[in-house]
Amino acid sequence: AFARFLEPIPKSEQLRALLGRREFSTQYYDEETRRDFWVGSDGSVVVCVTIADIGLEDAARVRLLQQQRSQECGGKFVLSHETVALLVSEALGGTIRLAN
């Protein structure tokens, strides 16, 4: 199941090593597909959120905002589709459409 989960994510071999850790959060940007992959785990559930059709500079703006929000919350960041959509909306303006 994890092989299929990791398949579309760039640098998935590095991510595979993280899957054994208790908690983690990481991002990978794929310039070719213009997708930003956010992957994290709370130790029991692994979540992957993909931001599609986003340029590198915009992805960096969203990540910077995420870091700021995380610091404001004592370093805790709960990865979910909803939280990433809110970050993208705030960092770039406009509304965000969530897709499965």
Q: Is residue 97 part of a domain?
A: no
Residue 20 CA to residue 87 CA, distance in Å, equals 28
Q: What is the pLDDT of residue 3?
A: 74
Please give the residue range of the domain that contains residue 55: 2-92
Q: Distances in Å between the alpha carbon of 10 and those of 29, 31, 35, 37, 73?
A: 8, 10, 10, 8, 29
Whether the pLDDT of residue 96 is over 70: the answer is yes
pTM of the complete model: 0.84
Residue 68 CA to residue 83 CA, distance in Å, equals 13
Higher pLDDT: 4 or 28? It is 28
Question: If pLDDT is split at 50, 70 and 90, which confidence band does 1 have?
Answer: low
Q: Is residue 64 part of a domain?
A: yes
12-64: pLDDT as tens digits: 777 777 777 778 888 999 999 999 999 988 888 888 999 999 999 999 999 99
Q: Is residue 99 part of a domain?
A: no
Q: How many domains does the chain have?
A: 1
Question: If pLDDT is split at 50, 70 and 90, which confidence band does 9 have?
Answer: confident
Q: Which residues contact 68 (CB under 8 A, 6 or more apart)?
A: none
Q: Is residue 44 part of a domain?
A: yes
Whether the pLDDT of residue 100 is over 90: the answer is no
